[in-house]
């Protein structure tokens, strides 16, 4: 009987230890009560060089990612886990809470405010422009493009670039750009323009440099055939899940410090070959 009683007490003690251990473990989706950093998933578009991509060693990098790494360093209460994915999955994942935040050179749109938290502080700046055949290099603006009656590569309706053109068309009903919604998030603009399927397309300066002007770019052979003409510099933002206001507030505090220290200027120069913050005073969006 004594042996049976001993075994019962031992079992109860073991169960108590197990329960206490379970209670002391941390859920990666909630803040820790014992001071440990909360783990958060930050998604990034892994095929958007130089904005964000997976380098040859399998490490996430790019302007957006490197800025968020600096933000992480200033937030000891958080531990960032970077998850490479596609633009579409990033948007869906952040909205549904699969990821707490995401970076993808995202522009602000009214529609997106219903799905995501936009913080007070923007992440970076993006040069946006027209990719054209060399013969059309005189087309400098959306007004020029529309007036010439040129055709534009399709843009997915959930791509903020679509919103940019749509906003222009609403403001210029007498001279609209022919805007067609695509079935996918983006098309290969360089290829479409080069093949003559369309007269032009919307792209980013950083992407153009990496794809066309860089010697190791996939379209370096077309460097004398196509041109890039900037028509706007636009603020870009990280997207936060709707339940992550505290996380977004912490980001705001950190990114503000990084801007004051000119860290974002340095990264803009490193990844885009240009300090876009120098034209911030002229940015309207």
- Domain assignments of the chain as residue spans, ordered by start: 38-125+236-282, 126-234
38-125+236-282: CATH homologous superfamily? Answer: Periplasmic binding protein-like II (3.40.190.10)
Confidence of residue 181 (pLDDT cuts 50, 70, 90): confident
Q: Is the pLDDT of residue 228 over 90?
A: yes
Q: Is the pLDDT of residue 30 over 70?
A: no
The tokens for 215 are: 């010697």
Q: For a pLDDT cut of 70, what percent of the chain falls above it? A: 86
pLDDT at 184: 55
State the architecture of 126-234 in CATH terms: 3-Layer(aba) Sandwich (3.40)
Per-residue buried b or exposed e for 100-134, using 16+ beta carbons within 10 Å of the residue's own CB = bbbbbbbbbbeebeeebbbbebbbbbbbbbbbbbe
pLDDT at 209: 94
pTM of this structure: 0.82
Same fold, 38-125+236-282 and 126-234: yes
State in Å, rounded, how far the first CA of the chain is from the last one: 80
pLDDT at 159: 84
Confidence of residue 157 (pLDDT cuts 50, 70, 90): confident
Confidence of residue 278 (pLDDT cuts 50, 70, 90): very high
pLDDT 10s digits, 110-152: 999 999 999 999 999 999 999 999 999 999 999 999 999 999 9
Please choose, from the candidates 200, 232, 209, the residue with its C-alpha nearest in 3D space to the C-alpha of residue 107.
Answer: 232
Q: Is the pLDDT of residue 7 over 70?
A: no
């Amino acid at each position: 009987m004594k042996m049976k009683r001993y075994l019962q007490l031992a079992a109860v003690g073991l169960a108590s230890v197990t329960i206490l251990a379970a209670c002391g473990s941390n859920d990666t989706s909630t803040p820790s009560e014992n001071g440990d950093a909360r783990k958060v998933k930050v998604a990034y578009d892994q095929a958007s060089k130089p904005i964000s991509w997976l380098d040859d060693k399998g490490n996430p990098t790019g302007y957006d990612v490197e800025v968020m790494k600096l933000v992480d360093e200033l937030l000891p209460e958080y531990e960032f886990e970077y998850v490479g994915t596609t633009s579409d999955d990033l948007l869906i994942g952040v909205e549904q809470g699969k990821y707490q935040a995401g970076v993808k050179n995202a522009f602000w749109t009214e529609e997106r405010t219903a799905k995501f938290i936009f913080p007070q502080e923007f992440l970076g700046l993006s040069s946006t422009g027209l990719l054209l055949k060399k013969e059309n290099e005189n087309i400098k603006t959306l007004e020029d493009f529309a007036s010439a009656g040129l055709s534009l590569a399709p843009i997915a309706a959930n791509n903020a670039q679509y919103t940019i053109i749509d906003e222009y068309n609403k403001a210029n009903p007498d001279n609209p750009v022919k805007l067609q919604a695509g079935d996918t998030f983006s098309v290969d603009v360089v290829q479409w323009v080069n093949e003559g399927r369309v007269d032009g397309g919307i792209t980013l300066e950083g992407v153009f440099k990496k794809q066309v002007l860089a010697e190791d770019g996939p379209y370096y052979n077309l460097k004398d055939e196509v041109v890039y003409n900037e028509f706007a510099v636009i603020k870009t933002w990280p997207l936060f899940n709707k339940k992550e206001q505290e996380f977004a507030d912490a980001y705001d505090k950190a990114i503000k410090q990084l801007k004051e220290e000119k860290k974002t200027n340095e990264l803009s120069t490193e990844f885009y070959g240009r300090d876009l913050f120098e034209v911030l005073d002229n940015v309207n969006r």
